[in-house]
Structure 1
């Protein structure tokens, strides 16, 4: 099956591109305590003015977090790595189950319809993978095919979408789901360093699921069609976002280079130009931008370098405000809000964009 991309009057003839699959349902979930930035500063007893400023100037109002319980003196001690891994497993299954079922309900489907489950997480390591644990937890048909994407970070939702879109194209009419579930509370280090503050001020817990189906012969389903993907690995910044073992803390610790927003912004045009190459489309033809809620400076850098308006990234900004950075599923939280807004029209084009370790920018072009 192919679709025709419309070109402007002064362009060449239309180009036919293959339709990969359709996005037919989205659902999200979060768990833990909804906590504001000032409340979190108080709970963690952070007094350093520089650290406080990182929290209070983040453009985040509140996030969902599952923090360690306070001791008798009211202090919250750092959790050992083993406890953090157990927390990740528990929260990932809890949030993932809720997001998956919400997504299927939106798609008018049930667990018995599921034929492929691709699970994404970077906030803990599980063997067997999350897909196997959810199949057991929810009683999904054990013949359901599955895949797990681990450790790719905030960009991984689009890597998974690429995988499941390919699976969907090979299995017309069958239901596949991308499930991103990130228990960022299980990747927190509770100390007073600026490195830790940058991470602890930003990430929140959340899960998001997206259902995909390719039209079978003679079928036309509602939902945007995925047309094309484009990626860009910024090899000069391969160490700018990383998850390292901290021997002093005896646990893993996430690192974000302060130059990341500028690195992402400076390379945003490169990957978007590649995405649109051969389609006859210009950036001005894109009506909907669903950008990863990576942080205020990241969003601002993308806006400036791509010439976007604040309206273009309204959902990205709102998700950051209400949930913080929920890693790989952030762009699906924005997509859910766009669906609920009900402003898309047939023929509209959209760009999905995520950024993460590598450093990597992932994109997808869709059409309603």
Structure 2
């Protein structure tokens, strides 16, 4: 068995209300009157109050720094421009998440044997993993794994890899870092995909420690995983590299595709441990959008109150892609006490493919 023994999160310094971001979008996207109304409706219905960005431009009415040429579509920031900012900003945000973890759990990074970095919003080489080795003072012989371009469900793949490392090495201590700067990839064209993405995505980072042995305090045992693909949703969620940043395909049909597969996914997962949904006390569901949360509740027969952690993260941070479900998990953990030992956490995330990931965590004491 392997255990999550520490968790930390971080966001950039720039925090904007959803209404301020909507004003920025309306000024810069050159929308028709109909699309402007659609954007306003999406923002109002998003369930989001605040989002974070490494860019200050989202809170400005002019004199932009990164989007300084936004009035001229021909010189809208290129992919190269955006990845330059990613390389500048992603390492420090990642370190902030690890420092949050160290502050809360007194983790000794000198004992880290493996580093897993998950990201889908930027890339360079030598990469973020090597920058973190240097900035965190990790051993230069730490085993490094990069999980790229998997989107919102990447944390699950990182946890599966960490679990495998721990299962094969009793001394393994795995540091996972999920960092995304989604706001770098703002697209000004008023397509349905862009309107949806511009209403949801934000920046953030999360870090976890996974170990072969329990640590002091509460631990989360990685009890079981299950994943599936919905071929019907292959064209409804995608993430591609364009000339002017990374481009999101995010269909309004995604919640209905998740609705069609979530019950069977959950049944297959829980059958591995001979449990039913009524046996689950806690939920850490990736808030890909408010509608996604609602259809999961309907299909599984759980209440909004049981799913409160997902709504709180969506409201305060938006969708940050891969770290988001870890923000939700941290929200759940922060509400646990020793009285919860023996109870289980059910977690989901979704992404391109359309991929459905799930896991069960068992709450244990040291």
TM-score, normalisation: structure 1? 0.88
Gaps of 5+ in 2: 28-32, 71-75
1:309 aligns with 2:303: yes
Contact 2:282 2:344 (8 Å CA) reproduced:
yes
TM-superposed CA distance for 1:250, in Å, is: 4.1
Structure 2 equivalent of residue 89 of structure 1: 87
Cα distance change on mapping 1:360 and 1:145 into 2, 3 Å: same
Deviations 1:186-238, CA, capped at 9 Å, x for gaps: 2221343332111011011000111111128xx99740211111001112222
State which of 171, 174, 183 in structure 1 corresponds to 2:172.
174
Whether 1:239 and 2:238 are equivalent positions in the alignment is no
| Mapped partners of 2:273, 2:254: distance in 1 | 30
User: Which residue of 1 is the match for residue 131 of structure 2?
Assistant: 133
Determine if contact 2:232/2:257 at 8 Å carries over to the other structure. Answer: no
2:348 to 349, 353, 358: 353
Q: Which of 320, 323, 327 in structure 2 is aligned with 1:329?
A: 323
Over the residues paired in the alignment, what is the CA RMSD in angstroms? 2.1
How far apart, in 2, do the equivalents of 1:346 and 1:367 lie? 8
Selected match of 2:148 from 147, 150, 158:
150
CA deviation vs aligned residue, 1:19-61 (integer Å, no higher than 9, x gap): 2x01101000000411111111222334711111111210000
Aligned residue for 2:340, secondary structure, equals coil
Given that residues 239 and 248 in structure 2 are in contact (C-alpha distance below 8 angstroms), is that contact kept between their aligned partners in structure 1? yes
Residues 196-207 of structure 1: pairs in structure 2 closer than 5 A: 196-207=194-205
Residues 224 and 272 of structure 2 are in contact (CA less than 8 Å); yes or no, is this contact kept in structure 1? no
> Which residue does 1:56 correspond to in 2?
44
- 2:20 matched to which residue of 1? 39
Deviations 1:260-307 (A, max 9, x none): 011012111111111111322111001111000111111111111111
Normalised TM-score (structure 2): 0.88
Q: Aligned-pair distance for 1:68?
A: 6.3
- CA distance in 2 between partners of 1:252 and 1:315 (Å): 29
How far the C-alpha of 1:245 sits from its partner, in A, is: 4.4
| Alpha-carbon distance between aligned partners in 2 of 1:304 and 1:72, rounded to the nearest angstrom | 44
Counterpart secondary structure, 1:327: coil
Which residue among 48, 55, 66 is the counterpart of 1:67?
55
Q: Structure 1 CA distance, aligned partners of 2:229 and 2:167?
A: 26
Match in the other structure for 1:279:
273
Aligned pair 1:341/2:329, yes or no? no
Helix, strand or coil for the counterpart of 1:124? Answer: coil
Aligned to 1:201, what secondary structure does the other structure show?
A: helix
User: Is the 1:215–1:221 Cα contact (8 Å) retained in structure 2?
Assistant: no
CA contact (8 A) 1:124 1:186 kept: no
Structure 1 pair 187–227 and aligned structure 2 pair: CA distance change class (3 A) = same
Report the equivalent of 2:8: 27
Shift of 1:255: 1.1
Quote the residue 1:101 is aligned against: 99
Number of residue pairs aligned between Structure 1 and Structure 2: 345
Distance, in Å, in 2 between the alignment partners of 1:305 and 1:164 is 31
Conservation of the 8 A alpha-carbon contact between 1:60 and 1:321: yes
Higher helix share: 2
Unaligned runs of 5+ in 1: 1-18
Structure 2 partner of 1:195 = 193
State whether residues 121 and 246 of structure 2, in contact with CA within 8 Å, keep that contact through their aligned partners in structure 1.
no
Other-structure match for 2:253: 259
Superposition deviation, residue 147 in structure 1: 0.3
Task: Return the alpha-carbon distance in structure 1 between the equivalents of residues 181 and 63 of structure 2.
Answer: 27
- Cα distance in 2 for partners of 1:199, 1:45 equals 14
